[in-house]
Structure 1
Amino acid sequence: MAEIIFLNDVKRDLNTVLTVGTFDGVHAGHKVLINKVLDVAEEKKARSVIVTFDPHPRDIINPGDAGIKLLSSLDERSEMLTDLGVDEMVVIPFDRDFSLLTSEEFVRDIIWEKIGVSAFVIGYDHQFGRNREGTIETVQELGRELGFHTHVVSKQEVGDKTVSSTAIRKAIYEKGDMELAASLLDRFYILNGTVVHGDKRGKKIGYPTANIQPQNSQKVIPKDGVYAVWVRFEGEFYQGMMNIGQRPTFNGGGTVLEVHILDFEKEIYGKDIQLQFVKRIREEQHFDGIENLKNQLRKDEKEVRDVLENRSPNIAKHLK
Structure 2
Amino acid sequence: MRFFSFLVCILLGFGAQAQNLAGTQWQLYPGAGAMGVGPNQGDTGWWSNSEGDVQARACLFDDIYAFNADGSFQNILQDATWLEGWQGVAEGCGTPIAPHDGTAMATWTEDGSSLTIDGTGAFMGLAKVHNNGELSDPADAPASITYEITSLSDDAMMLDINFGPGWWRFQFVPAGTELATYDLTLEVNTATIEVGPNGMYAGGGALGNAQAVALSDDDADGVWSATMTVSEGFSGNYVFLNSPNDGNDWGAKENLAGLECADAGNWNDRILAPVTENTTISTCFGQCTTDGSCEQSAETVDVLFSVDMNDYPLGFNFVNLSGGLNGW
TM-score for both structures, normalised by structure 2: 0.29
- The structure with more helix, counted as a fraction of residues: 1
Q: With a CA cutoff of 8 Å and minimum separation of 6, indicate the structure with the bigger relative contact order.
A: 1
